[in-house]
Structures are given as C-alpha cells and as structure tokens.
Amino acid sequence: MRSVRTVACELPVEFVLSHEVSVPMHAALRYEADDPYAVRTVFHPPGQDVTVEWFFSRDMLAQALSGRTGQGGDVHMWPAVHAGRDVVYVALRAPAGSALLAFPAYDVRAFLRETWSLVLPGREADRFDLDAELAQLLAGS
C-alpha cells in the first residue's frame, strides 16, 4: 500500500453576496498525491450548520491564477481584485443553490507550490499503475 502524502491548509475566504457585501469564512484545501488531479475544498457557509465539500481540478485552480476557467461547468474560476487584494474568484453552482467565493491568490499560489512539490504538473499519470487498477476492476466484476 502506498503512503498517502498530503498538502492541507486552511485559509480565509470571502463569501461574496454582492459587490458591496461579503462575509468572511474559512476554507480548507487538501491535496493527496494518490489522487493527483483533485483538490478537495471544504467550507462552512455562514449561518448554516452544514459543511460543503467540492472537488476542483488542480490544473483548473492553477489556471485561474492567470485567466478564466470552467466555461460551461458547475465551477468557474478567474483572477480579480477584491477589497484591494488579488483573489481567485470561485463560482459554484449546484441544484441547491450557488455561491461566489474569493480566495486569496497568494494563499492559492502557495498551496499549489506545495502540491507541485509532491506531484509535478503533467506527471499526475505517473501516480497510477493502470494495469493494477484494471486488474482490480475486473476482479470485482
């Protein structure tokens, strides 16, 4: 069994209600080298007793530092300035509702640098033994 290597951090985000109003909260980002394409994000919406969890593409998060990503999907990201600082906006859309979050670009960049120290961009497929994965799938059928 491979050891799971992870990068995890908690960072302040803004839940953006309008151009003038946003609510501070925290989000936890987690990256596992054994799931090299995904970043797990968990946050607690203000005034709610629930935890919301989303999975983003690590590449999408990295691309959002310099341009718009996610056209046509449930997750859209883009760089901007919010309240005088560089942010990555993350727009989430689900049947239950939608949310706009502002992640500090500096923290996103630092988090991604740490993930890249575990698995370099473009080398994610090296983490998989496709023959073993296929054998396991076939054994289960």
Instruction: Catalogue the E-assigned strands of 35-74.
Output: 38-43, 52-57
CB atoms within 10 A of CB 69: 22
Residue 111 CB contacts under 8 Å (≥ 6 apart), including other chains: 7, 9, 11, 29, 31
Give CA–CA dist 83/112, Å, rounded.
Answer: 23
* Ranges of residues in the chain whose predicted pLDDT is under 50: 1-2
The reported pLDDT for the residue numbered 2 is 46
Assess contact for 42 and 50: CB atoms under 8 A.
Answer: no
pLDDT tens figures, 92-120: 998 888 889 999 999 999 999 999 998 87
